[in-house]
């Protein structure tokens, strides 16, 4: 039997991808150290799929633990989500970010090569475009990083490119996600941030559910239609489907490709707040606050390459995104904590 291994499979995007893979008939292994997740997410994935996956608790920096998995199971491909992702924390703890993200990826690739598994889907980010000069952003746009988290993603992209240059029989896709939001429509799995959310959608959801007083909108004087920041929000279920397409692509293709996963449409912070209130019929009190250091005005994808190469495009609407985010939040006000 052949397995797809998901590093970080219990996390926000990993759990939704695990569900999509199980529903499509794949055998799935989740390899996660639960540093930012819990096994409850995987239990719910299994309930929703009506089938089990293999859950392994381990760290991608632990070569012996990884080798044990590859020795026991026949792994055909790896989808590599595991890593740390909080920008502010990365500034305070750069070594942890380079160790988990960069060193962890190098260890993973070393073990994959040892077991002759050479298909890899990597979770990159639109953060590798830095402060893009023009939007929409194509994959060919210049790359730069403004913080250690972004730098770690950029370094990994370079490392994987060098690996393919040296060993052309690898097949690697660098999926550059824009802003993932939403949840499975069951409301059973979703994003469960620790502490005060950094990202917009979980913050809006926590205001709406009464856990936080009001949203601070970071700046209303950007050169955008309403002055607030514009981003390419993409439903996590669409994102998960993109990983299936990437795996299918790697069945017949070698080499390395960077591919944007975004909708191609930008929405402002105020667009998001208004849609959330309208669709869910809830209040989202907000105040205008100073700009957040490091933020950019506008960031959205040119999504054409994903359509041409993978046959994938985002299908969910803004209303789906805010409805599904709210269903998850309102059904699980404390995330997975009490499950
Ligand atoms: P997440 O934190 O929910 O999931 C990451 C998972 O990896 C967690 O379950 C965590 O426990 C696990 N993990 C972390 N370090 C590990 C290690 N050393 N060994 C084993 N497991 C480890 O994050 P997510 O939102 O699902 O993001 C998944 C990937 O996508 C990350 O690489 C992230 O950088 C990238 N990404 C996320 C976003 C986003 O906004 N969510 C945007 C762009 C890129
Ligand atoms: C952030 C990260 C980026 C990461 C991305 C997806 C920073 C500087 N960048 O990007 O590296 O790839 O998340 O995880 O953290 N906003 C508010 N109030 C809030 C929160 C956000 O007004 O409380 C605004 C922001 O100013 C921005 C928009 O909402 O205009 C989206 O913010 P966020 O969800 O944090 O995503 P990004 O800034 O795109």
**pLDDT tens figures, 107-160:** 999 999 999 999 999 999 999 999 999 999 999 999 999 999 999 999 999 999
Q: Which atom of ligand 1 is nearest to the CA of 149?
A: 34
Which two three-digit tokens encode residue 289?
A: 């606050």
- Is the pLDDT assigned to residue 90 strictly greater than 60? yes
Q: What is the mean pLDDT of residues 213-229?
A: 98
Q: What is the mean pLDDT of residues 43-52?
A: 98
Q: Which atom of ligand 2 is nearest to the CA of 203?
A: 23
pLDDT digits (tens, 9 = 90+) for 241-292: 999 999 999 999 999 999 999 999 999 999 999 999 999 999 999 999 999 9
To the question of domain 2-183+232-263+300-312 being in CATH 3.40.50.720, the answer is yes
Ligand number, closest to the Cα atom of 69: 1
pTM of the model: 0.98
Q: How far is the CA of 85 from the centre of ligand 1 (A)?
A: 6
Q: Ligand 1: which residues within 6 Å by Cβ?
A: 7-8, 10-14, 32-37, 59-61, 81-85, 100, 104, 123, 125, 177, 180
Beta strands in the chain (DSSP E): 2-7, 27-32, 54-57, 74-80, 119-125, 171-177, 179-181, 215-218, 230-231, 233-235, 255-261, 267-268, 286-289, 298-299
Q: Which pLDDT score, from 0 to 100, does residue 337 have?
A: 86
Q: Which atom of ligand 1 is nearest to the CA of 153?
A: 34
- Is the pLDDT assigned to residue 338 strictly greater than 60? no
Q: How far is the CA of 213 from the centre of ligand 2 (A)?
A: 19
12 is catalytic: no
Q: Which pLDDT score, from 0 to 100, does residue 335 have?
A: 95
Q: What is the 3-state secondary structure (H, E, C) of the chain?
A: CEEEEEECCCCHHHHHHHHHHHHCCCEEEEEECCCCCCHHHHHHHHHHHCCCCEEEECCCCCHHHHHHHHHHCEEEEEEECCCCCCHHHHHHCHHHHHHHHHHHHHHHHHHHHHCCCCEEEEEEEHHHECCCCCCCECCCCCCECCCHHHHHHHHHHHHHHHHHHHCCCCEEEEEEECEEECCCCCCCCCCCCCCCCCCHHHHHHHHHCCCCCCEEEECCCCCCCCCCCEECEEEHHHHHHHHHHHHHHHHHCCEEEEEEECCCCCEEHHHHHHHHHHHHCCCCCEEEECCCCCCCCEECECCHHHHHHHCCCCCCCHHHHHHHHHHHHHHCCCCCCCC
Q: What is the mean pLDDT of residues 42-56?
A: 98
Q: Hey, where are the domains in the chain?
A: 2-183+232-263+300-312
Average pLDDT of the chain, as a whole number: 97
* Protein residue with its CA nearest to atom 33 in ligand 1: 85
- Is the pLDDT assigned to residue 339 strictly greater than 90? no
Q: What is the mean pLDDT of residues 78-101?
A: 97
Instruction: Give the confidence band of 63 by pLDDT, cuts at 50, 70, 90.
Output: very high
Q: Which pLDDT score, from 0 to 100, does residue 221 have?
A: 97
What is the percentage of the chain residues whose pLDDT exceeds 90? 97
Q: Ligand 2: which residues within 6 Å by Cβ?
A: 87, 125, 127, 149-150, 179, 198-200, 203, 215-218, 229, 231, 269, 292, 294-295
Q: Which pLDDT score, from 0 to 100, does residue 254 have?
A: 98
Catalytic residue among 3, 129, 149, 233: 149
- Is the pLDDT assigned to residue 218 strictly greater than 90? yes
Q: What is the mean pLDDT of residues 18-46?
A: 98
Q: Which pLDDT score, from 0 to 100, does residue 102 have?
A: 99
């Amino acid at each position: 039997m052949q397995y797809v291994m998901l590093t970080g499979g219990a996390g926000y995007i990993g759990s939704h991808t695990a569900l999509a893979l199980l529903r499509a008939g794949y055998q799935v292994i989740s390899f996660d150290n639960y540093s930012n997740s819990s096994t409850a997410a995987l239990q719910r994935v299994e309930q929703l799929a009506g089938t089990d996956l293999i859950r392994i608790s381990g760290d991608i920096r632990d070569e012996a633990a990884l080798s044990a998995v590859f020795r026991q199971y026949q792994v055909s491909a790896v989808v590599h989500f595991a890593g740390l992702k909080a920008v502010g924390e990365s500034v305070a703890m750069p070594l942890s970010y380079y160790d988990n993200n960069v060193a962890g990826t190098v260890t993973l690739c070393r073990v994959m090569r040892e077991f002759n598994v050479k298909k890899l889907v990597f979770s990159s980010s639109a953060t590798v475009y830095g402060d893009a000069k023009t939007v929409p952003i194509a994959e060919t746009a210049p790359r730069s990083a403004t913080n250690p988290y972004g730098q770690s993603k950029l370094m990994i992209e370079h490392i994987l490119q060098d690996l393919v240059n040296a060993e052309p029989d690898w097949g690697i896709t660098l999926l550059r996600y824009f802003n993932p939001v939403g949840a499975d429509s069951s409301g059973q799995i979703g994003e469960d941030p620790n502490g005060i959310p950094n990202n917009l959608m979980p913050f809006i959801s926590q205001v709406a559910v009464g856990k936080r007083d009001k949203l601070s909108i970071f700046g209303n004087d950007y050169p955008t239609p309403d002055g607030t920041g514009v981003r390419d929000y993409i439903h996590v279920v669409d994102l998960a489907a993109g990983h299936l397409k990437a795996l299918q692509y790697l069945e017949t293709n070698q080499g390395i490709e960077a591919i944007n996963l975004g909708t191609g449409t930008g929405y402002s912070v105020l667009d998001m707040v208004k849609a959330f209130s309208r669709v869910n019929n809830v209040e989202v009190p907000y105040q205008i606050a100073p700009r957040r250091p490091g933020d950019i005005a506008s960031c959205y994808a040119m999504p054409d390459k994903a359509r041409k190469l993978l046959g994938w495009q985002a299908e969910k609407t803004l209303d789906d995104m805010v409805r599904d985010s709210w269903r998850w939040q309102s059904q699980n006000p404390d995330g997975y904590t009490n499950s």
